[in-house]
Structure 1
Amino acid sequence: MTVASTDPATGTRSATQGLSVVQGTALSVGAVLGTGVITLPAVAAGIAGPASLIAWLVMVVLSIPLASTFAALGARYPDSGGVSTYARRAFGGRAATVVGWVFYFAVPVGAPAAAMMAGNYVADAVGGGRPTSIAVGYVLIAVVVIMNAFGLRISGRAQLALTGGLALIMTITIVAALPHARWANLTPFAPRGWSAIGPAAAVLVWGFAGWEAVASLSAEYRHSQRDVPRAAAAAITIVAVLYLGLATTALLVLGSATGSSTAPLSDVLAVGIGGQVRIVTALVAVLLTIGAMNAYFAGGSKLGAALGRDGGLPTWIGQGSAVGQIPRRSLMITGVLAAASQTAAMIFRLGVTDLVLLTTGAFTLVYIFGTAAAVRLLPRRSVGWWTAVIALVSVLVLAALTGLHLIWAVAIALGAYLSTRLRRQ
């Protein structure tokens, strides 16, 4: 997208190009909806049963101050650097490096989780169980690495088309399956106790990660200060309706079987429509996952190269950090680590839930830095500042709920901090 310039005082572009509210809303919904919707209703139900609906509601409510905080930061400091930029402004370059490390090393852990989600849909359609899911995971990791190595990208329009197709399938699924809903399927409501709602909410962070994209896109809006908050509000509403609608429908239609489902979207759609819907949903799941993984591998490998260029990682990783270059060394590290994570999951029989919790632990830590930066950067006692305080407290509670799965992300952050100290010495 070619633009002329942005007035830092008003956040208004001097050219007519740039994101409108509708375009920004679509991109924000695409960033948040992602791959989680194809699996998380079953994962959360497996942890807390029907009480997982409370966890969904909690995450929707939490998204309001979280998205509003990043929208306020984006409107005030329009820049493509996102959370890293705000951490640098608020706490200095060392904090920005820590955020960069946490995100960079979270991608190889999250990739197998996303790949296995799609693999479960393929296994549900063609058979083969877990071996099929694992095999599909390896294939998707290899495909995405090769695509990035040759500079192939899925365009923003194609990404939005995939997300739009998923949203359409979700809507059709909800409408078609609701006549088969039974209120009795919600009893017992909390079969694993009320305390299970916390861990379920920690897993659902995966499905709501992406609100920082609102801030990263802020520099691309035609009128940042006016349009970023509007797009964020519209995106929150759409995501809330789709997530809550599908999670509720799955539990009302499938009942206790929801928690053991490996392809909940296919199962609910099959009840509502019948026929060969599993092949269709498997294809959508694979394409959506390739798109999401491609975006994260591209962004993560570029971030790794930038960290190498700036001294946050070994210098040789910095190859390909310039605009237009392909960061193949950083990409190679990401691909090898992703394959290693997939192998570890296979050997130690780790499921999607374990990998998701490890990844969401890293996301939560990034959100802590982002909301803490907002508390420091936004005008004190303003509406935005109070919203940031609420968001910071909320993500700190989420971090506590993540428990031991947060330790590895904290260890990475500590490693990044010590690295910057040693480099300065």
Structure 2
Amino acid sequence: MTNSSGAPTRPLDRRLGLRDGVALGLAAMIGAGLFSAFAPAAASAGRWLVLAVVVAALVAAANASSMARLAARYPDSGGAYVYGRERLGLPWGHLAGWAFVVGKVASCAAMAMTLAVHVWPNFAKPIAVVAVLAVLALNLQGVHRSARVALGIVAFAVALVVTFGAVMLIAPPVTVDTPPPAVPGSGTPLGVLQGAGFLFFAFAGYARVATLGEEITDPRRTIPRAIGIALAIVLALYVLVAVALTSSLGSGWVAAREAPLAEAAEISAWPWLGPALRVAAILAAGGALLALVLGASRTLMAMARDRHLPPVLATVDGPHRTPRRAEAVIAGLVIVLIVLVDLRGAIAFSSFLVLTYYAIANASAWTLEGRAATKVVPTLGLVACIGIAFLLPWQPVVAGVAVLAFGAFIGWARYTTREHPDA
């Protein structure tokens, strides 16, 4: 395998099976989305929080269908960057890769800050930076070890969250807290869609499996199965949490909390669940950070192979044959973002860019050969991604549009200045 300069690049080892793929997808989804995103989503969706979860899941399912079809056709690292490049043209592939990398940097920052808030809120940013550095060190030891760690973290977190949901439904807590007034538009159809935009952040982890295409064994069969299993498990878990929180405490209470699950558990019939859920949040956010850095660095590596970024970032080396330079760059960008933004801003900014990424994936899937019926799902996914993205709060939307415009300009300039644009 060679990059665009003709320099040889070493392929990654195919060492991840179905269990590893499911674990990495779950680890990416069961993190900040579960332990933090329900608060801003509740502020927007109000008493219709469960409906916002379902809407987000439907969009994610449409995207998953498109991603699975594309991953089976193009089982290489890079996700929608590769799909957009092959189906829509190089500029669109570049834009997808750009949206993914920047969006996932924001996701990584959100995961790290979620971890830190559950450890020590008063020192959240320094703790988040340390967490990023620790994850980088683990990833440099090889992706197989990261997958095993993710599997253990996910099993622990899921067991605790299921217990939490059962306790909240069987013995609802009594609280005298007065919830804050609803935000404008809360509980309206537009509010539900905006809430779905926040919650989509929590469902986006299945793409990590597709971006690790070069490391998955039998990718044409394993990737679609891993995506479907991970998404189904997370949907069931999120519906349980949404029902438990809104039926026992109300959406206003949830919206006012920084760590809604842990704080709810602390006033439940089993208050010991509060500290346990804080530990689960720390481990789950850390596991999600592992998977996200892996996925973002592989897309960065794929873009570097095509010389959209410095070719040195495509190097696979070291005793574990990992893209160490790409992983280090992603970690550095995450640390910068942690310093600059807060948790809710990072979630919204990430959601906007990741929805853009999936819009390009759906557009790519629409071009695949097949019957007319096979174009219905990618069409719905494309429309939903664009619509929900622009219903998010205006500040992250403006920032996201600016980032995409800059990335599009670079992609267009790169495409038009190549000696052989189709090469």
Instruction: Name the TM-score class by shorter chain.
Output: 0.7 to 0.9
2:39 matched to 1:42? Answer: yes
> Does the 8 Å contact 1:266/1:281 carry over to 2?
yes
Counterpart pick for 2:351 among 356, 360, 364: 360
Alignment of 1:3-18 (within 5 A): none
Shift of 1:311: 1.1
CA contact (8 A) 1:55 1:200 kept: yes
Alignment partner, residue 370 of structure 1: 361
One-letter amino acid matched to 2:407: A
For the 8 Å contact 2:208–2:291, the answer to whether it is kept is: no
Match of 2:128 in 1: 137
Q: Residues 302-313 of structure 1 correspond to what in structure 2 (within 5 A)?
A: 302-313=298-309
Amino acid at match of 1:254: L
Return the letter of the residue paired with 2:265.
L
1:270 maps to 2:261: no
Is residue 416 of structure 1 aligned with residue 410 of structure 2? Answer: yes
After superposition, the C-alpha distances for 1:345-394 in whole angstroms (9 at most, x for unaligned) are 2xxxxx31111111111111110110000001141403x32211111111
Is residue 106–residue 334 contact of structure 2 (8 Å, CA) maintained in 1? Answer: yes
Does the 8 Å CA contact 2:37/2:347 hold for their aligned counterparts? no
Match of 1:83 in 2: 80
Task: Compare 64-73 and 369-378 and name the one that shifted more.
Answer: 64-73
Q: Which residue of 2 aligns with 1:336?
A: 332
Unaligned runs of 5+ in 1: 1-16, 124-128, 346-350
Instruction: Give the aligned partner of residue 290 of structure 2.
Output: 294
Percent identity between the aligned chains? 24
Change beyond 3 A, Cα 1:189–1:24: farther
In structure 1, the partner of 2:388 is: 398
Question: 2:401 — aligned with what?
Answer: 407
2:63 & 2:52 partners in 1: Cα distance? 16
**2:67 is aligned with 1:70:** yes
Stretch deviating more after TM superposition (283-292 or 165-174): 283-292
- Asked if 1:174 is matched to 2:168, the reply is no
Aligned ranges for residues 151-300 of structure 1 at < 5 Å? 154-181=145-172, 192-193=184-185, 194=188, 195-213=190-208, 215-216=210-211, 220=216, 224=220, 232-255=227-250, 256-300=252-296
Between the aligned partners of 1:284 and 1:338, the Cα distance in structure 2 is: 22
**Code of the aligned partner of 1:407:** V
Matched, 1:385 2:375: yes
Per the alignment, in what secondary structure is the counterpart of residue 370 of structure 2?
coil
TM-score by length of 1: 0.80
CA contact (8 A) 2:78 2:212 kept: no
- Helix, strand or coil at the partner of 2:267: helix
Q: For the Cα contact (< 8 Å) 2:172–2:248, is it kept in 1? A: yes
CA distance in 1, matches of 2:129, 2:313: 24
Change (3 A) 1:141 1:23: closer
User: Judging changes above 3 Å, is the alpha-carbon distance between structure 1 residues 361 and 92 closer, same or farther for their aligned structure 2 residues?
Assistant: same
How many residue pairs are counted as aligned between the two chains?
Answer: 395
Distance in 2 separating the partners of 1:323 and 1:94: 35
**Deviation string, structure 1 residues 400-421 (Cα, Å, up to 9, x no partner):** 2234353144224314313413
1:182 offset after TM fit, Å? Answer: 8.4
**Aligned match of 1:7:** none
How many angstroms apart in 2 are the aligned matches of 1:136 and 1:334? 18
Residue aligning to 2:55:
58
Q: What secondary structure is seen at the aligned counterpart in 1 of 2:308?
A: coil
- Could you tell me whether the CA contact under 8 Å between 1:138 and 1:339 is conserved in 2? yes
CA contact (8 A) 1:115 1:289 kept: yes
Report what 1:126 is aligned to. Answer: none
User: Is 1:95 matched with 2:102?
Assistant: no
Q: Which amino acid aligns with 1:252?
A: S
Superposition deviation, residue 316 in structure 1: 4.2
Q: Report the residue type matching 1:371 in the other structure.
A: N
Partners of 2:146 and 2:140 in 1: CA distance = 16
Q: In the TM superposition, what whole-angstrom CA distance separates every residue of 1:107-143 from its partner, at most 9, and x where no partner exists?
A: 33222211111122123xxxxx4x3222321221222
Q: Which amino acid aligns with 2:398?
A: L
Higher mean displacement: 93-102 or 365-374: 93-102
Kindly tell me: are residues 405 and 201 of structure 1, through their superposed partners in 2, closer, same or farther at Cα, counting changes over 3 Å?
A: farther
Letter of the 1:69 partner, please give it.
Answer: S
Q: Amino acid of the residue matched to residue 73 of structure 1?
A: L
2:288 match: secondary structure = helix
Residues 1:280 and 1:206: Cα distance change in structure 2 (over 3 Å): same
RMSD of aligned alpha carbons: 3.4
TM-aligned CA deviation for residue 23 of structure 1: 6.9
Question: Structure 2 length as normaliser, TM-score?
Answer: 0.81
In structure 2, what is the Cα distance between the partners aligned to 1:238 and 1:230? Answer: 12
Call closer, same or farther: CA 1:234–1:405 in 2, change over 3 Å: same
Distance 1:340 1:218, change over 3 A: closer
Paired residues of 2:71 and 2:223 also in contact (CA < 8 A): yes
- Asked if residue 107 in structure 1 is aligned to residue 104 in structure 2, the reply is yes
Change (3 A) 1:235 1:189: farther
Deviations 1:181-237 (A, max 9, x none): 48999x999764313223222211211112334545778465946x76565554443
Contact 1:118 1:289 (C-alpha < 8 Å) held by counterparts? yes
